Amino acid sequence: MKFLIITHATHTLADGQVYSYAPYVREMNIWSKHVDAIRVITPVSNDPVTKIDLAYDKNVKVRKIPSLAFTTFGNSIKSLVNLPFIFWVLFTEMRRADHIHLRCPGTIGLAGCIIQMLFPKKKKTAKYAGNWDPNAKQPLSYRMQKWILSNTILTKNMQVLVYGVWEGQTTNIKSFFTASYWEHEKTEVQKRLFSAPFKFLFVGGQVEGKRPLYAIQLVETLNKNGVPALLDFYGDGLLHSNLKQYVSEQNLDEIIVFKGNQPAQEVKKGYHDAHFLILASKSEGWPKVVAEAMFWGAIPMSTAVSCVPWMIDFGKRGMLLSLDLDTDVAQLMDVITKRDGLLDMSNDALSWSRQYTLDRFEQEITTLLL
């Protein structure tokens, strides 16, 4: 089977291998086990490989295209000039492929959504990794992709993998999940004592959409209220220097630690040691950090975005953030006083998340490729 991936995830070529963002590549390595050849249509970067990049297991042929961006006037003009070439590459590569796989949402994904309509008989899948909530406020390009993908007149012979269960969906929409760990990684988790100092984690990009400052302020306010708490940051991003400056100015250096980008094993250790994960994100699909924290018994505290309320059973195996500091701190302090309740919540989170292993994910993938 000739398997074609269309993605906006930037790839890097180094030492005869193809690298990209590690969580994406780990997933595609599972797909690749069940196909003969892989081609990827993607933007290519000349930047060096980083700690959060991973190489494909299989030999991958890359068809380089320019990135598409419409954030500024200059970018928009450049993208419009490049669009005919990108459409031509998409058309020619789709024509050669046996199975077309779109990665959405994204500008390249939108272009792929349009061109795939010309191949109604081709076997196709789309992974919509964003928020599929029909009522979510999203950019026009995201709404267009959701509309095209769910329209069974325009989009034929495709299964669209989405996170969460939503009413009123068309027949080609399939509720799905993602995973980070294999069945054999289900090692025993040491019983947490849930005693001070309480250990919090932030894992992910230090960018505006993740609201990392809110995580700092939540832990800062807990300490001001007499609850000893610590916060470790895993990841990096545009706000890193601003966050470090805030921590320094507020004299929080002893309770807030920035660990930077770390390999998966180091992050796993962080989950093992933490009591809570904080994710005050504006938008998510299936937030892996929430599922990963739960897998190791850390209790997630997250905004009610996408399928998160369902993941934490509306507060039974995690906490929903209101983004009002006083309210969230009061909720947390109330829960902290109920030690048995915290342990039950941790155990429920662990049991739920451990249903979704990479073994199960691979089984599901094989049925999609048949």
pLDDT computed for residue 198 by the predictor: 97
pLDDT computed for residue 264 by the predictor: 86
The CB-side HSE value for 128 (13 A sphere, CA atoms) comes to 30
| Least confident segment among 314-328, 336-350, 354-368 | 336-350
Concatenate the DSSP letters of all residues of 90-137 into one string. Answer: HHHHHHH-SEEEEEESSHHHHHHHHHHTT-TTSEEEEEE-S---TT--
CATH of 187-353, one of 3.90.190.10, 3.40.50.150, 3.40.50.2000, 3.40.50.1820: 3.40.50.2000
Q: Average per-residue pLDDT in the chain?
A: 95
SS3 for 18?
A: strand
**Domain positions in the chain:** 2-179+358-369, 187-353
pLDDT computed for residue 244 by the predictor: 97
C-beta separation of 110 from 155 below 8 A: no
pLDDT computed for residue 309 by the predictor: 94
Is residue 65 scored above 80 in pLDDT?
yes
What φ, ψ does residue 61 adopt, rounded to 5°? Answer: -95, 130
Q: Is the pTM of this model over 0.85?
A: yes
pLDDT computed for residue 137 by the predictor: 87
Is residue 82 scored above 90 in pLDDT?
yes
What φ, ψ does residue 199 adopt, rounded to 5°? Answer: -105, 125
Q: Which residue has the higher pLDDT, 23 or 250?
A: 250
Q: Find how far residue 271's CA is from the centre of its chain.
A: 17
pLDDT computed for residue 69 by the predictor: 84
Q: Which amino acid is at 315?
A: G
Which 8-state DSSP code applies to residue 190?
P
- Strand pairing partners for 200? 231, 276
pLDDT computed for residue 191 by the predictor: 86
Is residue 340 scored above 80 in pLDDT?
no
The pair of three-digit structure tokens given for residue 3, joined into one six-digit string: 């398997």
Helix (H) or strand (E) holding 176: strand 173-176
Is residue 167 scored above 90 in pLDDT?
no
Dihedral sign, Cα of residue 7, residue 106, residue 29, residue 66: positive
Q: Given strand 158-163, what is the order of strands in its sheet?
A: 60-64, 37-42, 2-6, 99-104, 123-128, 158-163, 173-176
What φ, ψ does residue 179 adopt, rounded to 5°? Answer: -150, 160
Model confidence over 129-152: pLDDT tens digits?
Answer: 999 998 888 899 999 999 999 999
Is residue 337 scored above 90 in pLDDT?
no
- Rounded CA-CA distance 271/282 in Å is 22
Is residue 280 scored above 80 in pLDDT?
yes
pLDDT computed for residue 27 by the predictor: 94
CATH code reported for the domain at 2-179+358-369 = 3.40.50.2000
SS3 for 4?
A: strand
Q: Hey, do 2-179+358-369 and 187-353 end up sharing a CATH topology, with the first three levels equal?
A: yes
Is residue 258 scored above 80 in pLDDT?
yes
